Amino acid sequence: MNGDSAEQIVRPENAWWKGAVTYHIYPRSFLDTTNSGVGDLNGIIAKLDYIADLGVDAVWLSPFFTSPMADYGYDVSDYRNVDPIFGNLDDFDRLISGAHERGLKIIIDQVYSHTSEEHPWFNESRQSRDSDKSDWYVWADPKKDGTPPNNWQSVFGGPGWTWDSRRGQYYMHQFLKEQPQLNVQNPVVQEELLSIAKFWLDRGVDGFRLDAINHAMHDPELRDNPPSNRPMDQVTRSFDMQIKMYNQSRPEVVGFLEKLRALLNQYSDRYTVAEVGGDNPIREMQAFTQGNTRLNTAYSFDFLYAPHMTPDVVKGSLNNWSGKPGEGWPAWAFSNHDAPRAVSRWAPQEYRDEAAKMYLMLLLSLRGNAFLYQGEELGLSQGQVPFDRLLDPEAIANWPKTLGRDGARTPMPWQHDADYAGFSGVEPWLPVDADQQARAVDTQVNNGDSMLAFTKRLIWLRKERPAIRAGSITFANAPKNVLCFWRSLDDVHTLCVYNMGAEKIKWRPAGAETCRVLISGSGLSDHQEVPEVLNGYDAYWARQVT
């Protein structure tokens, strides 16, 4: 490979979102300004300078809409309003304004597959089979023996149907029974969802993250799903025992996404990313993002739920995205509000400091967009939440088989010596984790050797190196537990090397002799030659020089 110097790089002309780094905020756990024990929109506004100083391009907000909070905001009862616990629409408008003043984009969740059972639409739908909204949800008659119409299971375990005595029918729910399934096949429902999207676009949001969008449609014939035949030692939910052929991943979803994209095209520089879960999400991710008439990007749970992180896991995911004409653009997250923090899933306790840096370097060097979850910039591991403090219905149902989601949602630690880590003046909705509080923002913000400083340096380098932000990726041969690839754009090449195990390895890749270090987990100085020895969970980026 022939190299070039950083000074000669010409930044590619791309949409702002291509290669963007997005900071994911879970509002309940970010900062409480009202002493309610729950974070709020004004807490996000108060920390906009902190977020902008990270160097990220955008902020994704988990739901803040009116909700009874059975699933902590993903059960929406009013799509066009802010739940009072988070603030009000004026607060949201100030958040948009403050973010835009700092060059930050705002992405919000849209939950189109289901609502809360307390939504007025559902209340009307359940009253009668003849009302205006009778077919806004998925209803079905029981079998002759009174059992549900088919064998579909919910994500949180148990049947995906609940009997409603008012209508004398079952209603479908892919998640909690408090989250009835919208009938998104209904064109009238689609138009209402597009109207909701327009409401938020008109308020200035820069795009949407579409929650569980591949759950949005179902088989009208209500056929039974076939068994997955997964070994029982790999099963935590009845949901895992089926191939979700008929209640998930329906091809009809694409038509609705094209309508949504047509709406967004009426606004400038808007962005859409789909959450695509499931056993085989790549086909859907690529279908959802193909060409220029659908979504911009999609991310799966390839890494979010991966129990181990290895070179083969990374290559297996990235190699699904070849960059061929018409193919969409991928996005990646290692941690979020739905998954235990990556460093706790993948790294031994004694290597978590080193691993936190290595994993962040990896995330920010993959081809695609990167989603950084609040606290990841501090090197936070999974928070410890005792059973009697668990609130997440999934965590409670699967205790102690899984880590659950509450431990990823514990309050953001702002001050190491303040009550409740400076998150709130009262007992928070989830307990503050002591290990996380020791890594609070105030202990790192003025420390040039901290994880926070390291994160800022990485994000800055990603922006300054278009090959990393938007270039191609080529994997190279490497020893066991080592991942090595080149990021390239035109004649500019960046070498990225990761030791994904604890064992020290003596090895240099081919071509490394022409490279100089940009950054490393172990603190190698800029311009230093590429090292011959990689310590456990160490990594480096290096630029090729002429």
Tens digit of pLDDT at every position of the chain (546 positions): 433 333 333 233 468 999 999 999 999 999 999 999 999 999 999 999 999 999 999 999 999 999 999 999 999 999 999 999 999 999 999 999 999 999 999 999 999 999 999 999 999 999 999 999 999 999 999 999 999 999 999 998 899 999 999 999 999 999 999 999 999 999 999 999 999 999 999 999 999 999 999 999 999 999 999 999 999 888 888 999 999 999 998 999 999 999 999 999 999 999 999 999 877 788 899 999 999 999 999 987 889 988 999 999 999 999 999 888 889 999 999 999 999 999 999 999 999 999 999 999 999 999 999 999 999 999 999 999 999 999 988 888 878 877 789 999 999 999 999 999 999 999 999 999 999 999 999 999 999 999 999 999 999 999 999 999 999 999 999 999 999 999 999 999 999 999 999 999 999 999 999 999 999 999 987 789 999 999 999 999 999 987
Give the domain ranges of the chain: 15-115+187-458, 471-544
What is the bridge-based pairing of β-strands 105-111 and 161-164?
unpaired
Place of tokens 């290595």: 358
Question: What distance in Å separates the CA atoms of residue 452 and residue 375, rounded to the nearest whole number?
Answer: 9
Architecture of domain 15-115+187-458: Alpha-Beta Barrel (3.20)
Listed in sequence order, the residues at least 6 apart from 316 whose beta carbon sits closer than 8 Å to its beta carbon are 302
Q: What is the pLDDT of residue 170?
A: 98
User: How is residue 461 annotated by DSSP?
Assistant: H
CATH code for the structural domain at 471-544: 2.60.40.1180
What pTM was estimated for this model as a whole? 0.95
Residue 539 forms beta bridges with which residues?
498
> Would you list the DSSP string of 204-218?
T--EEEEETGGGS--
Known catalytic residues? 211, 275
Question: What distance in Å separates the CA atoms of residue 500 and residue 119, rounded to the nearest whole number?
Answer: 47
Listed in sequence order, the residues at least 6 apart from 458 whose beta carbon sits closer than 8 Å to its beta carbon are 360, 361, 364, 519
Question: What distance in Å separates the CA atoms of residue 357 and residue 521, rounded to the nearest whole number?
Answer: 6
Question: What distance in Å separates the CA atoms of residue 191 and residue 103, rounded to the nearest whole number?
Answer: 32
What is the bridge-based pairing of β-strands 105-111 and 207-211?
parallel
Classify burial at 12, counting beta carbons within 10 Å of its beta carbon; exposed 0-12, middle 13-18, buried 19 or more. middle
Question: What distance in Å separates the CA atoms of residue 101 and residue 300, rounded to the nearest whole number?
Answer: 31
Rg of the Cα atoms in the chain:
24
